[in-house]
Structures are given as C-alpha cells and as structure tokens.
Structure 1
C-alpha cells in the first residue's frame, strides 16, 4: 500500500474554502471562522463529519457546517452528563471496595501478595501505587501518614483515594473470586459482569476526561452484556451499552430519571443527532 504524503497546514480561510470545495454548505462564513478559531478543523470536521460523507468523497451539498457543530455540541454536553454519573459510580466503588477489603484483610492488607490471585500482577500494582504516592507526596493526608504513623504507611481506606478508576478496576480484577463476589453482591450483579463493567467504564471515563468523542464511535474496550440485551440486538461497542452498565451500578439512584430526562432534552435540542450511531434502539427509554 502506498503511503500518503502529509497535507500542508491550512489557515482558517483556507479551511473554509476547502469545506466549500468538499460540498459542505456554509451559510455564515463569519460564524464558521469563529468556530474554527476555537475548535480545530481536525477535532470538528474530521470527527463529526464522519457518516455525513463517504470516505475520500464530498458532502452531499445539503449538509451544513451548523449541523456538524450541532453534533459537536451534543457530544460535549452528553459527555459531561455521563462523566458526572461515572464519578458517582467511581466514588461508590472506592467506598465499598475499601470498606470490605480493609475489614477482611486489615488496613495494610494490600501489601500482602497472598491476599490476591496473581503475585506478579500484585507487584505491578504496588509499583504503580508507589508512583502515585510519590506524585501526591505533598497532599495533606499523605504527609500525615508519612510523618505520624509507624513506617509512614498509608491505610487502604485512604490509599484508595489515590487510585485512578483504571487502578481500581485492576485491583478488583486481582482480588480472589470469593472477595469479588461479595463486592458484586452489594450491587446485585455477578462478579464477572462487575469486573467487565468496571474496566469498560474506566475506559469511557478516560474518553470523557480527555474531551473525546462518544457520538458515532466504536468503543475499543467493550463490556459483557446480559443475555436479554444481546438478544434484543443491543451492541456492546456503542455508548448505549455503557449506560446500561451504569444503570445496574446505580440501582437506587434517585436522580436516574433526571439523567434520562436530560438525554431526552439533548436529543430534542440537537435534532440532527442520530441515536442509532450511539447504539440506542428505538425503544431505548424502556431499557432505562
């Protein structure tokens, strides 16, 4: 396969002329200039123009610049909405995992390889966590345990606050099956599902944190779904699967209905959004 040459950079005026040559309708060039001065051509057009034209082809002469901006704005709002619920799940998981593990194995039990399935995996975890401790060495609670407790070691109920969601997921993955079951039982799910969902949601959380795209994208890290979802044809590579997992981890959330209502409002506000490109079935509200 012949490799492509890098394309030369274009200033904003050249970007607009290029879009017009590609058949994108630009009704207000001053507006387009302002947008392309704030949001890069690559982030906006290359990402949200997907599906609006064929690969290496032109737009249809009907699609407008404003439609692409609309998809971008929807994604930004939707991403922030998801992020707030993921934060709630993450804080809750930290709490349940820390309470259970500290009570069963002691507040320093995370240091003991026999408390876990894979000693090598555990050793990697200790190295990762030491890096986090060093990085947060000026945090008041880290300094407190270093200066005022034997060996300066940090108890697990405090240490878990330094975990990223990814580290939390890896820690759970290396716990003994019986321990995983106890944590999962508090959510009313099987531990294989919880393990999969934690890993997946941690992946989506990082997309949210880095202002990534959830609209019209296949998610690389996919979750296990219940059989009824698979039988209904719900794909696990799109973000609707993420929302289903989140729902099971927020079973008593009094704000869940508000969350669903907000999704509805965003879909009404941004009418060019195609929910199928996020894996939403036509009757999606029945599942939530």
Structure 2
C-alpha cells in the first residue's frame, strides 16, 4: 500500500474557495474568512463536517458554512458548561479518596504496593506521580514537603491536588475492591459502575480541557450504564450516557438543574444541532432531572 503525500497549505481565500468547490454554501465570504482566520480549517472543517458529507466527497445539498459554524459554537459552549459539572465531581473525588485512604493506610500509604491490587500498575502509578512531583517542584506546598519533611515525601492529601484526573482514576481502579466499595457507596453507587464512570468522566474531562469535540462524537472510554438507561436504548458511546452517570454523582444539586436549563437554551439557540448524534432521546430533560 502506497503512503499518501501531505497536502499543500492553503491561504484563507483558497480554503474558502475549496469549500465552495465541495458544494458548501457560503453566503458571506468575508465572514467565513474571518472565522477561518481565528479557528483552524483542520479543527473546524474536518471535525464538524462529519455526517454532512461522505468521506472525501462533496457536501450534501443545502449544507452551509453557517450550519458548521453553529455546530462549532454549540460544541464550545456545551463543553464549557459541562466542564463546570465535571470539576465538581473531580474535586469531590480527590477529597473522598484521600480522606479514606489516608485514614486507613496512612498519608504515605500510597507508596506501598500491598495496599493495592496489582503491583505492576502500582509501579506505573509511582512513576507517574514522580513525574508530576518533579513538574510541580516549584509549587509552594510541594517545595515545602520536599525540603522540610523526612525523605521529602508528599502526603496523599497533597498529592491528589497535582495529579491528573486520569491518574486519580487509575489510583482508584487499582485499589482493593473492599476499599473501592466503601468509597463508591458514599455516592450510593456500586463500585463496578463507579469505576467505569470516573474513567469515562476523566476521558471527557480531557476532551473539554483540550477544546475537543463532544458533538457527534463516539467515545472510546465508555461508562457502564444502569439498566434503567439501557432499557431506553441509551448508548454509552455517546455523551448523553456520560451525563446520565454524572447526574447520579451531583444528585439534588441546584447547579445540575441549572446546567440542564442552560443546555436546553443552547439547543434552542443553535437550531442546526442534531441531538440524536449525541445520544439524546426525546425525553432527555426528564431523564436528567429525575
């Protein structure tokens, strides 16, 4: 199989002309040029054309630049309001894991493999946190522990403030099942579900942090859904499935209710958005608020 050659770079005007040649309707070329001067062609066109044209083909009839622009703007605003919900889950989980683990195993208990299920994964975890500690060595509280405490060790309650959500998820995943069960029950969730939820939420958090696409996206880290959702044919490879999980972790929170209201307004504001591509059923609002 022969390898492809990279395409040559295009000027903004050439980008617009190329889109027109692909049957995309552009009523205001200057606005399109201004938009493409701020948002890269690759980030915008490649991601938000999915489903609006066949691969390497022309756009379907009546598809416009404005439609793609709306999808991009919706995705950006949706990502921003969702990130605030994930932030609450993340900060809360850092607290609950460190509180429980420090009380049971000591503030440096994370250093010892017998406190975890898998020695190999524990070694990988220690390597990850070593990198994070070195990266954050000038952070005042890290500097203080490294220079003023025996062996320069960082207690877990401080360590959880610098490790990524992904690393936190791996820490939880490698804990003994009995420990995972106790932590998960503080959320009234079985640990087998909870484990998959935080792994998936961590994955979504990274998409949000790197300004990625949630609209019409198929997820690679998927949560295990309750039967009440699978009976409704809610898919765990679309973002709505993850929202169903987050709902249980922020239950009875007025901020979650406000999130759902904001999301409803976004759907009203951006008429080109197809909720089906994100796994939203017709009664999505009722499901998220029950």
Q: CA deviation at 1:67?
A: 0.9
Contiguous gaps of at least 5 residues in structure 1: none
Q: CA deviation at 1:61?
A: 3.8
1:211 aligned partner: 211
2:112 aligned partner: 112
In 2, the alpha carbon distance for the partners of 1:234 and 1:180 equals 26
Aligned length: 288
Q: Which moved more, 1:274-283 or 1:54-63?
A: 54-63
2:14 aligned partner: 14
In 2, the alpha carbon distance for the partners of 1:148 and 1:75 equals 46
Deviations along 1:242-279, whole A, 9 cap, x unmatched? 11111111123221110000000100110100000000
Would you say 1:229 and 2:220 are equivalent positions? no
Contiguous gaps of at least 5 residues in structure 2: none
Q: CA deviation at 1:84?
A: 1.1
Give the TM-score normalised by structure 1. 0.97
8 A contact 1:187–1:251 mirrored in 2: no
SS in 1 for 2:254: coil
Would you say 1:66 and 2:75 are equivalent positions? no
Q: CA deviation at 1:55?
A: 2.4
Q: CA deviation at 1:20?
A: 1.0
1:75 aligned partner: 75
1:51 aligned partner: 51
Q: CA deviation at 1:19?
A: 1.1
In 1, the alpha carbon distance for the partners of 2:89 and 2:264 equals 22
2:249 aligned partner: 249
Deviations along 1:127-152, whole A, 9 cap, x unmatched? 11111111111111011112222222
In 2, the alpha carbon distance for the partners of 1:5 and 1:130 equals 40
In 2, the alpha carbon distance for the partners of 1:22 and 1:127 equals 49
In 2, the alpha carbon distance for the partners of 1:193 and 1:98 equals 20
In 2, the alpha carbon distance for the partners of 1:124 and 1:261 equals 42
Mapping of 1:1-288 within 5 angstroms?
A: 3-288=3-288
Q: CA deviation at 1:2?
A: 5.3
SS in 1 for 2:57: coil
Give the TM-score normalised by structure 2. 0.96
SS in 2 for 1:255: helix
Structure 1 runs of 4+ with >3 Å offset: 1-5
In 2, the alpha carbon distance for the partners of 1:155 and 1:15 equals 53
8 A contact 1:94–1:161 mirrored in 2: yes
